[in-house]
């Protein structure tokens, strides 16, 4: 059974302080615009604690707290399935949403985002930043990526020698190059195609390398 529940997307938290002759700010307010809307108090409390700890360290409270207010300014629909008695998948997803919110508080709003897949074929243009999550229609459970899990937005030039790759002044001996995978953009873009290879290095690491028509080589990412 699935239930449509309202999850808090924008929340305002405020503290009213006891007034006295030296008090400059009788009302302290904080607004949270959550990248992962929260459907439970237990998920939101760690995010609130992170913000308050940081702000109280910079600007301590000037007097005692006489009132606390927490107001949900906007909500969004959330799918909350009935909990399974044999596993805690829903608890894990709730904990992950809280964790993402804490990361956003710790690292900054512009540092935490969702990656939305685009129609571009070249890897560095294949996703864009967005602050709104979208449920994937693809079941990734039990599947292993054929592409690298780390993609560089700007590919790095490398030098390919007979038995090694020189990257950022360091030399890496390789064991194997995969078969070529050719990627090309739309014909209207007038951009040359690229030939991609998985290069297995000694020590168990693997990088994703491509060459352009000028036979220059670049590192696009690496496998974890």
What pLDDT score does 85 carry? 45
Give residue 6's pLDDT band: very low, low, confident or very high (50, 70, 90).
Answer: low
* CA 68, chain centre distance (Å): 32
> Can you tell me the mean pLDDT for 188-199?
83
What pLDDT score does 88 carry? 56
**Is-contact 201 218, C-beta < 8 A?**
no
Shared domain check, 105 and 6: yes
Q: What is the pLDDT of residues 210-219, one digit of tens each?
A: 998 777 899 9
CA dihedral of 54, 55, 56, 59, whole degrees rounded to 10: 130
Domain assignment present for residue 143? The answer is no
Domain assignment present for residue 93? The answer is yes
Residue 92 is inside which H or E element, if any? helix 89-107
> Can you tell me the mean pLDDT for 203-222?
87
17: phi then psi, degrees, rounded to nearest 5: -100, 155
Domain boundary pick from 112, 141, 160: 112
131: phi then psi, degrees, rounded to nearest 5: -105, 15
**Is-contact 182 193, C-beta < 8 A?**
yes
Domain boundary pick from 55, 88, 112: 112
> Can you tell me the mean pLDDT for 78-97?
57
Domain assignment present for residue 58? The answer is yes
Shared domain check, 154 and 108: no
For CA atoms 99, 100, 101, 103, the dihedral sign is positive
| Residue carrying structure tokens 């615009």 | 33
> Can you tell me the mean pLDDT for 158-168?
89
Shared domain check, 100 and 8: yes
Shared domain check, 161 and 101: no
CA atoms of 112 and 39, how far apart (whole Å):
20
CA atoms of 71 and 188, how far apart (whole Å):
51
For CA atoms 170, 176, 180, 183, the dihedral sign is negative
Domain assignment present for residue 174? The answer is yes
Shared domain check, 105 and 34: yes
Shared domain check, 102 and 11: yes
What pLDDT score does 153 carry? 82
The tally of domains found in the chain comes to 2
CA atoms of 34 and 102, how far apart (whole Å):
10
Domain assignment present for residue 203? The answer is yes
Domain assignment present for residue 79? The answer is yes
Shared domain check, 86 and 13: yes
What pLDDT score does 191 carry? 75
Shared domain check, 195 and 102: no
What pLDDT score does 122 carry? 73
What pLDDT score does 2 carry? 41
The stretches of 20-145 forming alpha helices (DSSP H) are 41-58, 89-107
Expressed as residue numbers, the domain containing 9 is 2-112
Q: What is the pLDDT of residues 123-147, one digit of tens each?
A: 777 777 775 555 544 454 555 567 7
CA atoms of 132 and 35, how far apart (whole Å):
7
Percent of the chain with pLDDT over 70: 76
Domain boundary pick from 112, 129, 159: 112
β-partners of residue 221 are 151, 208
Which of 66, 60, 56 has the alpha carbon at shortest distance from 20?
Answer: 66
Angle at 70 between CA 65 and CA 74, to 5 degrees: 155
For the chain, the average pLDDT equals 77
Domain assignment present for residue 32? The answer is yes
Shared domain check, 6 and 78: yes
Domain assignment present for residue 129? The answer is no
Query: What is the pTM assigned to this prediction?
Result: 0.45
């Amino acid at each position: 059974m699935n239930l449509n529940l309202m999850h808090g997307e924008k929340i305002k938290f405020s503290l009213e302080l006891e007034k006295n002759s030296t008090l400059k700010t009788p009302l302290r307010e904080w607004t949270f615009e959550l990248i992962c809307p929260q459907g439970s108090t237990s998920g939101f409390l760690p995010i609130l604690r992170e913000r308050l700890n940081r702000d109280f360290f910079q600007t301590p409270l000037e007097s005692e707290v006489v009132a606390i207010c927490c107001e949900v300014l906007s909500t969004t629909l959330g799918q909350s399935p009935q909990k399974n008695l044999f596993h805690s998948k829903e608890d894990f997803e709730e904990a992950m949403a809280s964790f993402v919110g804490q990361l956003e508080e710790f690292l900054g709003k512009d540092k935490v985002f969702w990656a939305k897949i685009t129609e571009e074929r070249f890897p560095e243009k294949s996703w864009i930043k967005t602050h709104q999550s979208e449920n994937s229609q693809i079941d990734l459970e039990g599947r292993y990526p054929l592409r690298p899990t780390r993609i560089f937005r700007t590919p790095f030039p490398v030098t390919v020698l007979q038995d090694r790759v020189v990257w950022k002044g360091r030399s890496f001996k390789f064991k194997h190059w995969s078969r070529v995978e050719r990627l090309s953009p739309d014909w209207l873009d007038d951009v040359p195609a690229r030939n991609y290879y998985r290069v297995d290095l000694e020590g168990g690491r693997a990088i994703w390398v491509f060459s352009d028509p000028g036979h220059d080589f670049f590192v696009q990412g690496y496998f974890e």
